[in-house]
Structure 1
Amino acid sequence: MSKISTDPTRRALNGPTMGTRWTALFHVDPAIDTDPVRAALQAAVDEVDAQMSTWKPDSDLMRLNAAPVGVWQTVPMPLLEVLVLGRDIGLASGGAFDMELGDAVAAWGFGSDTADPVQIRAAMGRHRNTAALEIDVAGARVRKTADVALDLNGIAKGYGVDRLADTLVALDLPAGLVGIDGEMRAMGLRPDAAPWSVAVEAPDPARRSPHSVLALHNAAVATSGDYRHWIDVQGCRLSHTMDPARRAPLVAPPASVTVIARTCAEADAWATALMVLGAEAGATLARQIGLDALFLLRDPTMGFRSKAVGRLFCDQCPEAAAQHAQ
């Protein structure tokens, strides 16, 4: 057999999930049938969606939301893992990452229903609960200690990306690039021993264009921004990211925050938390905990400017181009 016929072939797969598409890029022997790979990847994200969706009334998350306060509920392990991680990042961020905003998200029209002024007033007037979810890891069960509605949109896609990565590894495909709607995770290196290239999108609602390019190796990246999912209220554009203190969309947030982390779930949640904190407080916390983050801020004269934190997004390299996560 000739050398050309045995060289790894580039395969790009994709499928529907969570209202968008998942993608997977890897190289494999050309003789290998990738249909089973596609099926396994689809099954992995379908499981995440079935457990964590707020759009599916029969999801495990929605059943938990409907459960009575104070009653223990057994939950599947993936959902338990996400709830534990979300709780921990919520504590580490001083509440900037908050899973207990489901009623506010729905009231403002970022869920399956349109915005409702009555529900908005009710959500904003509700007392903020802290630690309203008790988690028994050993028993794989949780219970609400207050009447809250959980929403995992700030972490579920990232976790779905991690499940895509785990699936490829389980199929003996340890090198690849997987993603959901711009949240990406890179495993290993390309066949030429180069890292995987991932673009950081410019925060432009009118078009998709790269701001800079990252070179990732065994790392994940996620971006939270105000330029893709928003609503217009009396001529004012409001981001889908909620301010936990006000239980309302953020006012004048960064245009976007990009975070590099070990897993995509961590990157996803921390990008949301830093978006809530804003550039100054967010950058201070990122430095304290050793997090790599890039804040893109709107500027009336420059269009936008960047604020970088960490060894990958160094302050001396404002465009944060071609950084390599080892």
Structure 2
Amino acid sequence: MPTISKDLVNHITIQPHDAGQRLDNYLIKILKGVPKSHIHRIIRGGEVRINKGRTKADARIEAGDVIRIPPIRIAEKSAITQKIIPARNFEIVFEDDALLVVNKPSGVAVHGGSGVSFGVIEQLRQARPDAKYLELVHRLDKDTSGLLMVAKKRSALVKLHEMLRNDHPKKVYLALGVGIWQRANRHIKLPLFKYTGAAGEKMVRVDENGQSAHTIFQVLDTFSGSLTHSVGISALSLVQATLKTGRTHQIRVHMQSQNCPIAGDERYGDYQANKRLQKLGLKRMFLHAHILELDHPITGERLYLKAELPQDLQILLANLKVA
């Protein structure tokens, strides 16, 4: 990341790993704390230039380009703020010079924002100060655990984003639903519409005006014994969910739509059932990114990556099976 002086004109030479990005996206990344509207204003006003010429926000930057950035007020992080982002190394499932795949724990956001000061990507950058490039390929909800891809090269990020738009890689999740999942409901194809909830939170609902969404479900096990009955729950269903599209909260809302919401889901789940499940030791949402199958974005090698269920979820299932 280049060093920017807020009081002077800056001339930044684009490095190969940053080539191919839109100018506005690049400036948003390096001018931390500067509103997007201000960045677009200085581009339109001709204060930002590429190789001494006026440019547009959607111009693609190339290696060797010299970007002129005018004096600009940058909201700098205080020393106190920097200290509260602890360096953290997560369990590595796969790593080479282009791609890093970690096993994200539940309860950790993938990035800062929306009231969260930092997430996986910020902690990884703190733990790897010499890394030239670390960018999230996709996202997982804060309470979802499992496989998370991080690109170590821009070329890998661009290729992976292209792959994601074309139903690749294969992403398989494990989820525990409250209720009986009907085995006939294998393919759920219900459009999803994003909206803002009463408290300003991001929400999704099934709506004919939403984006197309397709999840394939397979029932792995059903629990309806003395343990579930002891807390007032008739049945629980362990399902495997394979994403054919990657919409926000897709599995959570598709399961809710079939009257089998995910256990522990505070947003789309059954509030009373969640309280009862806490007595069985479930303190989180039971949704885990279990398997990734993909062609390596650079070498083309076929990768099969797997993250086993966290121990607390394994213990819960083991208790349900013997009860």
TM normalised by structure 2 equals: 0.28
Higher helix share: 1
Higher gyration radius (CA): 2
